[in-house]
Amino acid sequence: MPGVVALPQGAWWTPDKNGVDRRGSVNVLSSERWTPMAFGNAQHTIMVQVEKAEAA
């Protein structure tokens, strides 16, 4: 759907020497707050900006 980004799963959080995770951990984008009913992570409304990455 236009305007929607889906990230079904990622990798373990592995920051580089600058603290940047480049492996795809969804936890970098999500909040630490729990949902009130299920006490799970709240990944329902995360605002993102997507840009094309430059070659390393």
Distance CA 20, CA 2 (A): 28
In this structure, how many other beta carbons lie within 10 angstroms of the beta carbon of residue 4? 5
pLDDT, averaged across the chain = 77
The pLDDT value recorded for residue 17 is: 94
The answer to whether the CB of 44 falls within 8 A of the CB of 5 is: no
DSSP three-state, residue 44: coil
- On the question of pLDDT at 45 being above 90, the answer is no
Q: Look up the pTM and report it.
A: 0.39
